[in-house]
Amino acid sequence: MSHEYEAAVDIVQDTTEEESLLGVGWLQESLDRRNPYVDPLNLLQIQLLDEDDRSEPEERALRVSVKGIAAGMKNTG
């Protein structure tokens, strides 16, 4: 799998003639600002999804984490 990823990265970089997949600097800045807020939500979501029998507050927290991550990513899909 790692080999396939590296091959895909090489193809994208060759095609775009960019050294980084992020391309422009504003994207990296945006990710750096967003990640400290979204990363804890990701961890919470992983823990909640690992539960076989979630309580109603845990279900609510899971829904909120999904909405929070989507808002942080500026994408609901």
- How is residue 47 written in tokens? 């823990």
Question: Is 36 part of a structural domain of the chain?
Answer: yes
CA distances (Å), 77 to each of 14, 61, 67, 70, in order? 28, 19, 11, 8
Structural domains counted in the chain:
1
Contacts of 31 (CB under 8 A, 6+ apart): 22
Asked if residue 75 belongs to a domain, the reply is yes
- Quote the pTM value: 0.63
Could you read off the pLDDT of 7-60 as tens digits, one per residue?
998 898 889 888 877 766 777 788 888 889 999 999 999 999 999 999 999 999
Residue 6 within any structural domain of the chain: no
Residue 10 inside a domain? The answer is: no
**pLDDT recorded at residue 76:** 58
Residue 60 lies in a domain: yes
- Which residue segment(s) compose the domain that 77 sits in? 23-77
Residue 8 forms part of a structural domain:
no
